[in-house]
Structure 1
Amino acid sequence: MAVEHDAIVVGAGMAGLACAADLVEAGLRVVLLEGSDGPGGRVRTDRRDGFLLDRGFQVFNTAYPQVKRRFDLRALRLHPFTPGVVAHTPSGPVRLVDPSRRREGARTLLPGRALSARDLAALSALTLRDAFLPARALKGRGDRSTREALRRAGLTPALVDHVLRPFLSGVFLEDRLETSARYFHLVWRSMARGTLCLPAEGIGAAAAQLAAALPEGTLWPGTPVAAVTDTGVLLADGRDLAARTVVVATDARTAAALLPGLAVPAQRTATTFYYAADDAPLTEPVLLLDSTMTVLNTCVLSAVVPGYAPPGTALVSASVLGTDTPERERTVRRRLGELYGSDPARWQLVATYPVTDALPAMPPPWPLTRTTRFAPARYVCGDHRATGSVQGALASGTRAAREVLADLTRTRLRRGGRDAGPGHSRAASRETLRRPLHGS
């Protein structure tokens, strides 16, 4: 079978988009195959009856190194959340706002108002260390659970259980704080250094921007892959595509089906409910946390980005761990009424998004990055190969491209340069091989 491509990338999520972009930049003939009707994987937004509905509640973090490298942030027209949270605790609402960004937030952090003097000092010290230490120093620490790391930082159980656990459960999609502390410190660092926001056209606009930058004809939507073969891939419609290399950039379970023997980490599942309300129960773009864990978090998305809802309507999101049931939705609705001090009985349930395998479980010791090489000329990348985040997915895709180029270069040198494909740029490959991964 004639070789049609230098590389086939299977899956146009964030990892696949990053990998394809770097391989194209190096001059390779690349095709990016996507089984669904468009790019993005979990990072997509649906339009329904005037609403923008992200496929599960997500935020966009401007501090991620891969985000800084790959995106035109101005073109995304980002809308920020309030730099802080409101946690509903057994003693009442507690507002924590970054005083360096919101001057009025400093008043809420006076000892005795939101935090005790002990917690205020411990949380400030933790945040300053994570914000200003080099990322490599955080990665080099011994690993333990996030709960243990917070205990060692001197935070009281009340602060951890009533504020930090509800917040971090929405980040890690687990409620025991058993996630790798190394990953926690990197996430905390990024939040201290960046802004949490949403694009004006929904989170899917980020993936769409990456896809639009690819050369015409690179992305093949609606092209599911049935198998990875010795010569390339077999498409679901029976066609064979040949390539020198194949990169599987799908979710972990699909990757394991295509690459038998691939280890699959445990996965986390979450569900997001979207409600339409005639009147916004809150006009501030702030995330509400629930210490009872009935909901992970909730916010009025149309207060963050007005275009998420039609004029005269508010869009409220609420996320929970696990899957949904009719009884669970009723429980969530009741709790939202308590959190917002509003009557949600007339709110319309616009959509429910259960996201299975939303994130990999990351218990300690969790490798922040790992090789994408699976077999000769076969590679696998995705957040399950790095960290459960947009940064992790993009960094893993970057690493896959780097390792593909390194292996092709070695093969070409062994064969005296005879294996270089048309249009392959040796100088471009060297430049891509030099480019750092910028962490995980």
Structure 2
Amino acid sequence: MDVIVVGAGAAGLACALDAASAGPRVLVLESSDGVGGRMRTDVVDGFRLDRGFQVFNTSYPQVRRRVRLRELRLRPFTPGFVLAGSRGRHRFADPTRRPDLAGDLRPGRLAPLPDTVALGLLAARDLLLPAALLRRGRDVPTARALRAGGISDRTVDAVLRPFLAGVFLEDALETSSRVFHLYWRSMLRGTLCLPSAGIGAVPEQLAAGLPPGALRLDAPVAALTDDGVVLQDGTEVAGRAVVVATGPHEAAGLLPGLAVGPVRAVTTFYHAASRSPLGEPTLLVDSDRRLLNSVVLTEVVPGLSSDGRALVSTSVLGTDAAESEVRARLAELYGVDTAHWEPVAEYRIPVALPAMPAPHPLTRSARVAPGRYVCGDHRATGSVQGALASGARAAREVLADLAGGG
């Protein structure tokens, strides 16, 4: 092979597609029985379950470039979210898209007038400025950037922190402000939605574009060699360039000396209910931060359930949450009896996102040694955009080195 890609997640697939389109012989080696990495969908007891709560953002440049959106049959979430908890229930809606739902944005409900104005100015700035300017902005923790933008600590803690904790998987808001502004911009410009078949439909579509024979599943790589890689079954595969497109810890195991940063963990619980506790496709955010968020996924995509029952997804920071405590909290947030909700599955994900504290590099070179490269969202930003862009960068660097005889 000219190029061996280890891992068939979003980054590895993007790298392989771009490299193969330029002519080199490419082989993707995936250790599991399917493509997608963290972007996979399982079928359990007639329900389609993503491996952890997922949303798909149509505004990402790499998504627009690579994905045939119509084929995914996308179903949108309500633009905004509902805050529920000890402060009551309020709705944070995008007034440009759903003015009929934006009543709680009136001053004195969710936030005082100065904070409402400040948040509107921040949103307008992120929506209208070129992304290149946001990338070059001063990088500080998100909490500090929000204060500098004129939003009071009270409004940050009551409204923004609970929601952003579910975006960044951390509630201290230490995430890079440049990352925050780019994420906020993408949410304002795009539609948050889900494919009708689950998030796994996205990498499956990408993988279908690979040349015949370029993907090998159930092929775990044990080590890199001077000539390529060796699989766990002892099979050796030669390749001029090897791209490691795995998670950060697996990448460090294959590339000794590779520096990897901290990661964020999350647990997602799935429950089946006889009836929907919220009759709309809207994210419910816990204002007291005991949970991250919950959503009735069958209000977004009815086909995720085969028997008409409601499918509820709930996420919690970390990997230690108890299902019984989560279900009890859901009863408080939804205002319904959850005693008879059936636990369907739970996904405890210790490496769900890379931590992105300020200052955070938005992209890094894929080259780590002659003929050795690495890509993934841990080399960019923790998003589908970050993963795809990192894979694209790896392909560019590999192709340049192959053309130069490297």
When normalised by structure 2's length, the TM-score is 0.98
Kindly provide the CA deviation profile for residues 349-388 of structure 1, in whole angstroms up to 9, marking residues without a partner as x: 0001011111111111100001000000100000010011
Secondary structure, counterpart of 1:86 in structure 2: strand
Does the CA-based 8 Å contact 2:6-2:28 persist in structure 1?
yes
Counterpart code for 1:376 = P
* Structure 1 residue 232: Cα displacement: 0.1
Give the 5 Å matches for 1:311-330.
311-325=307-321, 328-330=322-324
Match of 2:342 in 1: 348
Distance in 1 (CA, whole Å) between partners of 2:110 and 2:100 is: 13
Counterpart code for 1:118 = P
Percent of aligned positions that are identical: 62
Kindly provide the CA deviation profile for residues 99-153 of structure 1, in whole angstroms up to 9, marking residues without a partner as x: 1111303433222233321121011000000011001100101110000011111
Secondary structure, counterpart of 1:88 in structure 2: strand
Give the 5 Å matches for 1:364-379.
364-379=358-373
* Structure 1 residue 173: Cα displacement: 0.7
* Structure 1 residue 88: Cα displacement: 1.7
Which of 292, 301, 308 does residue 305 from structure 1 map onto? 301
Match status 1:143 vs 2:132:
no
Match of 1:359 in 2: 353
Counterpart code for 1:407 = D
Match of 1:287 in 2: 283
Match of 1:171 in 2: 167
Match of 2:21 in 1: 25
Which of 127, 150, 173 does residue 154 from structure 1 map onto? 150
Counterpart code for 2:47 = F
Does the CA-based 8 Å contact 1:51-1:309 persist in structure 2?
yes
Distance in 2 (CA, whole Å) between partners of 1:113 and 1:200 is: 35
Kindly provide the CA deviation profile for residues 252-281 of structure 1, in whole angstroms up to 9, marking residues without a partner as x: 000000000000110111000000000110
Give the 5 Å matches for 1:183-202.
183-202=179-198
Kindly provide the CA deviation profile for residues 281-302 of structure 1, in whole angstroms up to 9, marking residues without a partner as x: 0110000111221110000000
Match status 1:70 vs 2:66:
yes
Does the CA-based 8 Å contact 1:89-1:162 persist in structure 2?
no
Counterpart code for 1:165 = R
Match of 1:42 in 2: 38
* Structure 1 residue 214: Cα displacement: 1.0
Distance in 1 (CA, whole Å) between partners of 2:103 and 2:171 is: 30
Does the CA-based 8 Å contact 2:110-2:159 persist in structure 1?
no
* Structure 1 residue 89: Cα displacement: 4.6
Match of 1:231 in 2: 227
Which of 407, 418, 435 does residue 401 from structure 2 map onto? 407
Secondary structure, counterpart of 2:92 in structure 1: strand
Counterpart code for 2:330 = L
Counterpart code for 2:14 = A
Match of 1:432 in 2: none
Match of 2:106 in 1: 110
Pairwise CA RMSD of aligned residues?
A: 1.0
* Structure 2 residue runs without a partner (length 5+): none
Give the 5 Å matches for 1:86-125.
86-125=82-121
Match status 1:247 vs 2:278:
no
- Bigger CA radius of gyration: 1
Distance in 2 (CA, whole Å) between partners of 1:94 and 1:156 is: 18
Secondary structure, counterpart of 1:324 in structure 2: coil
Match status 1:53 vs 2:28:
no
How many residues align? The count is: 406
Distance in 2 (CA, whole Å) between partners of 1:199 and 1:302 is: 12
Distance in 2 (CA, whole Å) between partners of 1:92 and 1:132 is: 33
Give 4+ residue runs of structure 1 displaced > 3 Å after superposition: none
Kindly provide the CA deviation profile for residues 171-225 of structure 1, in whole angstroms up to 9, marking residues without a partner as x: 1111100011110000000000001000000001011110111122111010000
Counterpart code for 1:6 = D
Secondary structure, counterpart of 1:142 in structure 2: coil
Counterpart code for 1:18 = A
Secondary structure, counterpart of 2:241 in structure 1: strand
Distance in 2 (CA, whole Å) between partners of 1:275 and 1:50 is: 13
Secondary structure, counterpart of 1:15 in structure 2: helix
Counterpart code for 1:174 = E
Does the CA-based 8 Å contact 2:32-2:217 persist in structure 1?
yes
* Structure 1 residue 340: Cα displacement: 0.5
Distance in 1 (CA, whole Å) between partners of 2:141 and 2:105 is: 27
